[in-house]
Amino acid sequence: MVLGSATPVAFLYVMDRERALGFYRDTLGFAPRSADAHGDFIDLGGALVRMTAMPGYAPGPHPVLGWEVNDIVASVTGLRERGVECIIYEGMGQDALGIWTSPDGKNKVAFFPDSEGNVLSVAQTG
């Protein structure tokens, strides 16, 4: 495949570049890679995110980025220790930490906002 070995780049819109950069760098622990007049590239370890400020941007209700983790409870606890609270959706059946477990118990997911209100997620599969 032509793009099989290329690095994926996701695009993320934000209201405040400096605030968003601080969140992804200081709260989530991702390294900035480069910046230009229009945006910042963040290295997610195998993929990049280009954050671009967009005047009047309003985040949507659905997740825009997610990570697969080995231990979702540890990940959510670590986020909470950094001041990030998971989103509890009415009727979804999440636990007190905000973790939803599939009916068969094999998959778990939690959702949380970034500094700009974009919805992110962590998931434990299998």
CATH number where 19 lies: 3.10.180.10
Q: What percent of the chain has pLDDT over 90?
A: 93
Q: What is the mean pLDDT of residues 73-83?
A: 98
**93 contact partners, CB below 8 Å, separation of at least 6:** 100
Range of the domain at 43: 9-53
Do 69 and 40 belong to one domain?
Answer: no
Number of domains in the chain: 2
Confidence class of residue 126 from pLDDT cuts 50, 70 and 90? confident
Residue 31 included in any domain: yes
Contact 39, 24 (CB under 8 A): no
The answer to whether residue 73 sits within a structural domain is yes
Same structural domain, 80 and 48: no
Token readout for 46 is 């195998």
